[in-house]
Structure 1
Amino acid sequence: MERCEALQVLRDHKIRVTAGRKALLEEVFRRDGAFSAAELHRATEGVDLATVYRFLNLLVARGIARALRGPQGEQFFEKACVHNPVHPHFLCRKCGSVFCLPSAPLDVSLPGGGGFLVEEVSLIVRGLCPSCRDS
């Protein structure tokens, strides 16, 4: 699977390039599913956790990443690029795992039909994953 080029994305979004930011964004683009800030922190050396959180929030604000709330209120992130279009998620209420679900066509009909600007659509399915259901 192809990946976006971290350095180019930082430049295109006018985000100051540092070695830490480049390394963090490269790791974000390497990942195929949702991840926590702590997971990203463990995967990158030399970047403190507070910096990871600040950078992820910057990526979300610039539309480079998406954030979603886990079953216990924790925050997960995923890349938001052509290689990872918007899709629904399944959140296990027991183990806290987040699973990406296949995309499906979604018709968003709004009242009155005019004047609305849709900026985000989110579909989260909550329940028990197969492992937790069987235990």
Structure 2
Amino acid sequence: MSTSPYEQTARTLLQQASGRVTPARIGVLGILLAATAALTHQEIEHLAQQQGFSFDRVTLYRALDWLVEHHMAHKIAGTDRTWRYNAQMGIPHQHAHFHCKRCEQVFCLENLQPAWLFTLPTGYQVEEVELNLQGCCPDCAINSH
């Protein structure tokens, strides 16, 4: 099993977070860092097996929960009631998600900040935002013409 640049980045991020650096955490975070869209548990498990990781499903869930708890990943509720995970990289989870109805992928739109965040009434403090947009992603839009 060769080490990818994403795994090296994952190891560094885990060391900076002062958490235990385990093969499962390195593998899962490396997979999320490499992903272009949010991934389901099954997709992460499949990619981990392809890359030679040998952790079981419970270990995978624990690694994902730890990464979410330590703000290294976030989970997104899909319209199909399946959780999807994406690396967070220190970016506050205050951005929109886009669900493509054709390919079923979910994309984080970090640069799309909801305007109402800046107009909340006095005293309210936002900790997390869930804004889900649905439609057709650029790849599916091109392929439908």
Indicate the residue corresponding to 2:124 in structure 1: 116
Indicate the residue corresponding to 2:35 in structure 1: 31
TM-score, normalising length from structure 1? 0.76
> Equivalences for 1:30-69 in 2 at 5 Å?
30-44=34-48, 45-69=53-77
The one-character-per-residue Cα deviations of 1:19-54 (angstroms, maximum 9, x if unpaired) are 232222222211122001111111112011221111
Distance 1:85 1:117 in 2: 14
User: Are the counterparts in 2 of residues 72 and 96 from structure 1 also a CA contact under 8 Å?
Assistant: no
Corresponding pairs, count = 129
- Structure 1 position 15, deviation (Å): 1.6
The one-character-per-residue Cα deviations of 1:36-93 (angstroms, maximum 9, x if unpaired) are 1111111112011221111111111111101111112110010101589853222245
Quote the sequence identity (%). Answer: 29
Indicate the residue corresponding to 2:10 in structure 1: 6
Distance 1:30 1:83 in 2: 16
Counterpart check, 1:77 vs 2:81 = no
The more displaced of 91-100 and 72-81 is 91-100
1:26/1:99 CA distance change after superposition, 3 Å: closer
Distance 2:120 2:128 in 1: 13
The more displaced of 60-69 and 9-18 is 9-18
Distance 1:26 1:84 in 2: 19
Alpha-carbon RMSD across the aligned residues, in angstroms, is 2.9
Where does the alignment leave 5 or more consecutive residues of structure 2 unmatched?
Answer: none
Where does the alignment leave 5 or more consecutive residues of structure 1 unmatched?
Answer: none
Distance 1:128 1:31 in 2: 19
